[in-house]
Amino acid sequence: MEEKLLEVKDLSVAFNSYLGVAEVLDRISYSVDENQWLGIAGESGCGKTVSAFSLLKLLPEAAMIRNGEILFKGESILDKSEREMRKLRGGEISIVFQEPQSALNPSKRVGENIVESLRLHQGIRGEEAKRRAIQMLDLVKIPQPRVRFSQFPHELSGGMQQRVCIAIALACHPSLLIADEFTTSLDVTTQQEILKLVVDLQRQSTMSVLFITHDLALISECCDELIIMYAGQIMERGKVDRVFRNPSHPYTRLLLNAIPSISRKDEKLNSIDGSVPGLVNPPKGCRFHTRCKQKIPGRCDVVFPRETAIDETHRAWCHLLYT
C-alpha cells in the first residue's frame, strides 16, 4: 500500500470551558492519500475546524489533545517542537479560511503576505520575492496582478480576496491544503469559480486537499472520499459515490435528504429534527442516538458502535449494521 500523506489515529480533543470540559473530538481516525481530495462534512459545531487546527498544533489555549496520534509523511506531529511545527505550517500544510475579508490583515498590502511566506520558508527576498508573489497572483487568475499586489484587502472584492488567500496558501507549494469552508461566504457563482480554480491548481501539482464544508453538494463535485462527522465523532466514511449511493448511517441518510434539489423543489425542505447536543457531558455511546429515529435502547446509548466495513474503503459506525 502506498504511503499515506496524513494519518490521524484515535484523536481526542477537549476544551476547558466555564461549563466544564467539552469533549469536542472523540477518537476520530482518518487518513489522506497523496493527491487526494478528502471532504469532511457535518453540522456546525461538530468539530471540523478543531480537527483541522489540531493538524497544525494551533489550538486555543483552552484546548488539550487528550489522546491519539497524528502522522504527517510518517512523522508524528504531536512530538514535534514548536520550531519544527513552524516549518510545517505554511510550508507543508496550508490553510484557507472561511471569510477572506477577515483572514487578510487590513493594513497590509495583499502581496506582502506572499512575500512574507516566501521569505520565511524559502529564503527568497527583495525583487525576486515580489516577482514570485506576482506570479502567484497571476496563477490564481487575478487580473492585473502587478496592480493588485500593492492594494489593500478592502480594495478587492470577496472573490478576489479569497483568490489572494489561496495564492498565499499555495506560495510555498504545500503538500496538504486545508480548505475550511472556504467558499461559504461567497455567492454561488463565485463559489463555483473558486472551487474550479482550486480543483485546477490541485491537478497541476502534487497536493492533497482537506475540504471542510457542510455542503454535501460541493463535496460530490470535487472530493474522492468523504467523512461524515457528528458532534465530534465520525459516523461514516468512504468513496464519495459509494457513500452517496449507499448511505449506511442514519445520520448520513438524513444529511443527504436535507440537500435541496431542483427536481424536488415543490416539496418542503427537509431538515433534521433536534439539534447538536452540548459537548460538555455528551450523550453516551453513539452521540447521534438522541436524534436517531432507529435508536436501539440499551445499546446505542451505552457503547460506541464498532467499525463495519461496507466495502473495501467504505466504513460506518452504527449498531444497526450488525447484531
Least distance to ligand ATP from the beta carbon of 180, Å? 7
**What values do phi and psi take at 212, rounded to 5?**
-95, 130
Q: What is the 3-state secondary structure (H, E, C) of 105-138?
A: CCCCCHHHHHHHHHHHHHCCCHHHHHHHHHHHHH
Please give the Cα distance from 296 to 303 (Å, whole number): 11
Q: Interface with ligand ATP by CB under 6 A: which residues? A: 15, 17, 22, 24, 42, 44-50, 60, 62, 214, 279
- Our CB check for ligand ATP shows the closer of 117 and 183 to be 183
Residue 156, by phi and psi: left (phi above 0), alpha (psi -120 to 50) or beta?
beta
Please give the Cα distance from 100 to 159 (Å, whole number): 8
The amino acid at 102: S
121 binds another protein (CB under 8 A): yes
Pairing of the two strands 225-230 and 233-239: antiparallel
Kindly report the length of the chain.
Answer: 323
- Our CB check for ligand ATP shows the closer of 62 and 272 to be 62
140 binds another protein (CB under 8 A): no
* Contacting residue, 6, 39, 46, 49, with Mg ion by CB under 5 A: 49
Per-position x/- string for 144-173, each x denoting binding to another protein as judged by CB under 8 A, each - no binding:
--------x-x----------x--x-----
The item of ligand ATP, another protein, Mg ion, none sharing an interface with residue 148, based on CB under 5 to 8 Å by kind, is none
Interface residues with another protein (CB under 8 A) are 56, 58, 86-91, 94-95, 97, 99, 102-108, 113, 116-117, 120-121, 152, 154, 165, 168
Interface residues with Mg ion (CB under 5 A) are 49
